[in-house]
Structure 1
Amino acid sequence: MVVLARIVDIQFYIPQSYQSYEDIATLSGLPSSVVKEKLGITKKPVENKLGIEEMLLESAKGLLSADRKQNTKIVIYSGSDAKGKHVWTLAPKLGYLLELKRYYGFDVSSQCVGGIVGLQLATKLVSNGSYALLCVATKQSSLVNYSDPSSTFMFDFSDGAMSALIAKEEGKYEILSFSFLSDGYFGDVVYAEQRSNLLEVHEIPGWRDKMREESKKNFIYVIEEALSQAGVSKSKIGFVALVHMKRSFHRALLDTLGLKEEQSFYLENFGHMQGVDPFLAMEIARKQGKLEKGVVVLASAGTGWTWGASVLEVL
């Protein structure tokens, strides 16, 4: 196996205020049992005070000692496009706020697969003896229209931030491979109009049926392709860290991969934190002692639509 780079550490900012499944049921008119059991939301964090920049500062500051600050040369923001300001690049400002020197900062737009896309870019750009800082954040809970029945698959949108430090030869996770697959048929299904404060579902004819047919196949494709590129068989997967999705779809993916429920972590108390999800599931499992040395697969999908996976080795 070829090691592309390593994840040194990951830190999160999780808001302390929450919406419960009962709150969401009240806002949407759905039965509370549907929100909790079908949509898979027990509660989700919602940020009422901090903006994207502030949340990322909270998640990043614990990663950067004086030496690491001096040697962090890349800052990548690959989180939500709803950054609080339009036509604006966040990463350079974040590097400045973190007091980095002589760094290159840029933003990437890949929606909910952005965490894995950003990880691939950090892996390619980080050089020996330096660090790349990957930052992902979202406040998209405020973009959900709970009165729109067509938006139920977005009712899990929550808030939070993640920062990960990437290096070539230092870290607790080895990064082995990536795989991505896009299908622009779904490109105009979800977006916010220029002057709108809410995400809207645009009913492209047949998209829901096609999504039901294609999404599981595409998840399995990128996972198997990433495993192949890493030179790892499917039987070697120790843990799969997935984006938040309906309970039934989560279970179906595990069944297709031949995995047990304890080989994943379902984010029912966190909702869908955009590109943060797979990293959060992995780190929670590690802290709970469920993540043994071996192969971990991160997998997510983002509107547009793009599916992505990465294979890691736990050290």
Structure 2
Amino acid sequence: MQYNSSSKITGVGAYLPEKILTNHDLEKLVDTNDEWIVRRTGVKERRTAQKDEFSSDMAIKAVENLLTRHSAAIDEVDMIIVTTFTPDHLTPSVAALVQGYYGIQNAGTMDINAACTGFTYGLCVADSLITAGSFKKILLISSEATSKIMDYTDRNTCIIFGDAATAFVIEKTDGKGSILASSFNSDGKLAENVTCSVLSDRVNGRILTKDRLFQQEGKFLYEYVVKTIPDGVQNLLKKSQLSLEDIAWFVPHSANLRMIEALCKRLEFPMEKTLISNEYYGNTSSATIPLAIWMALQAARIKTGDKMVLYGFGGGLTHGGVVLEW
């Protein structure tokens, strides 16, 4: 039986930092080259935030882009959800900073950290809150400043990631809702394969935080994703009572083009019906899926009524997604 959703996506915006970091730029920082990066990952360039630009700044700019297309997008918003694993602070939340900047009254705020699975978690939470009758209009933002935690001497990691933010509006509808099904899984026993640890020093008996450092086991993750995610997608489709033949667009987390190609091969799903965002923007963690949707909307590729599978996977380890009808 399909899930009885009562929400629809009514607005989409995005922000990409101006600074472009090309593969040739990375050749000057680490032992790598353009041909090697493209062959291994499909990434040609990525965006990086300015030194004084953080996840909240990008989130605000994504909302500004949203407002250029939907001027009333944040009117009457009663909950703000931000998905990020690169927040400005442990507290306050990025969502609270966005609320404060825009002065949105009578709105709750919270951040969700599910790493690269964050957007699909956020979308499911927003839909659930609306369907339960607790809220009517939710601003869902995904904002990731991965450059702030990247080790640019680690060529297996720094070549992949980039910075970006997106802003979606999800509203209560009296008609048919967008979300047809959702499914999520995790395996914390494998958590050590993707980590962002706090580096600290002890000075005069006090622990002083110095920096955050992101690390991942790329080969392990590639094998895990290709082996595990196809079954996750099929289980999600089973819950929606649909098959891949019913799906207009597959929108996986844009971690690595070669990984996505392998996923599509395992699923026997065509790459030309797969939306990705990593070629010019890299792996933007929880922002990859909504960024791919924003890009496709800009190109008028997504049509009303299109059924889509959105599926994220990443640190935790977490994976899961939603089936929605546009």
- State TM-score, norm by structure 1: 0.88
Gaps of 5+ in 2: 201-209
Q: Aligned residues: percent identity?
A: 20
Superposition pairs for residues 163-174 of structure 1, below 5 Å? Answer: 163-169=167-173, 174=178
CA deviations 1:67-122 (Å, max 9, x no partner) are 65442111111112x32223432222311222211111111111111111111111
Label 1:294 to 1:173 Cα distance change in 2 as closer, same or farther (>3 A): farther
Number of corresponding residues:
307
- Give the gaps of 5 or more residues in structure 1: none
Which residue number in structure 2 is paired with residue 34 of structure 1? Answer: 36
Which residue in 1 is equivalent to 2:59? 56
Residues 11-45 of structure 1, C-alpha deviations (whole Å, 9 max, x = no match) = 00111211001112332202321112212210001
User: Structure 1 stretches (4+) deviating beyond 6 angstroms?
Assistant: 170-173
Give yes or no for contact 2:73–2:169 (8 Å, CA) kept in 1.
no
CA spacing shift, 1:216–1:173, aligned 2, 3 Å: farther
Asked if the contact 2:112–2:118 (Cα under 8 Å) also holds between the matched residues in 1, the reply is yes
Q: Which residue of 2 aligns with 1:313?
A: 325
2:259 matches 1:225: no
How many Å apart are 1:247 and its aligned residue? Answer: 2.6
Letter paired with 2:153: S
Q: Contact 1:218/1:307 (CA < 8 Å) preserved in 2?
A: no
CA distance, structure 2, for counterparts of residue 246 and residue 91 of structure 1: 28
Contact 2:81 2:110 in 1 (8 A): yes
In 1, Cα distance between equivalents of 2:291 and 2:84 = 14
Correspondence list, 1:247-258, <5 A:
247-258=257-268
Distance 1:135 1:255, change over 3 A: same
Cα–Cα, structure 1 residues 44 and 170, in superposed 2: closer, same or farther, change >3 Å?
A: farther
Q: Offset of 1:212 from its aligned partner? A: 4.5
SS in 2 for 1:97: helix
1:279/1:298 contact within 8 Å kept: no
Which residue number corresponds to residue 107 of structure 1? 111
The aligned residue for residue 234 of structure 1 is 244
Is residue 92 of structure 1 aligned with residue 96 of structure 2? yes
Paired residue type of 1:247: L
Offset at residue 7 of structure 1 (A): 1.0
Residues 286 and 249 (structure 1), Cα distance of their counterparts in 2 relative to 1, 3 Å cut? same
Q: What amino acid maps onto 1:136 in structure 2?
A: S
Pairing partner for 2:164 from 160, 165, 168: 160
Report the CA distance shift for 1:52/1:110 in structure 2 as closer, same or farther (over 3 A).
same
Cα 1:170–1:26 shift into 2, 3 Å: farther
Q: Provide the C-alpha distance between the structure 2 equivalents of 1:265 and 1:68, rounded to a whole number of angstroms.
A: 25
Q: What is the rounded CA distance, in whole Å, between the counterparts of 1:92 and 1:247 in structure 2?
A: 34
The one of 290, 298, 301 equivalent to 1:290 is 301
- Return the match for 2:292 from 232, 257, 281: 281
CA–CA distance in structure 2, aligned partners of residues 214 and 237 of structure 1? 24
Kept in 2, the 8 Å contact 1:37–1:247? The answer is no
Counterpart of 1:137? 143
C-alpha distance in structure 1 between counterparts of 2:311 and 2:135, whole Å: 29
Q: Which residue in the other structure is 2:76 paired with? A: 71
Report the counterpart of residue 177 of structure 1 in structure 2: 181
Conservation of the 8 A alpha-carbon contact between 1:51 and 1:84: yes
Amino acid at match of 2:11: D
Residue 170 of structure 1 deviates from its aligned partner by: 7.7
- Confirm whether residue 272 of structure 1 aligns to residue 276 of structure 2: no
Query: Which residue matches 2:25?
Result: 23
In 2 relative to 1, CA 171–85 (structure 1 residues): closer, same or farther, beyond 3 Å?
Answer: farther
Would the alpha carbon gap of residues 101 and 15 (structure 1) be closer, same or farther in structure 2, given more than 3 Å must change?
Answer: same
Distance 1:245 1:42 in 2: 13
CA distance in 1 between counterparts of 2:192 and 2:91 reads: 20
Per the TM alignment, residue 194 of structure 1 is displaced from its structure 2 partner at its CA by 4.1
Displacement of 1:147? 1.8
Secondary structure of 1:28's aligned partner: coil
Tell me the residue number matched to 2:316.
Answer: 304
Give, in angstroms, the shift of residue 304 of structure 1: 1.6
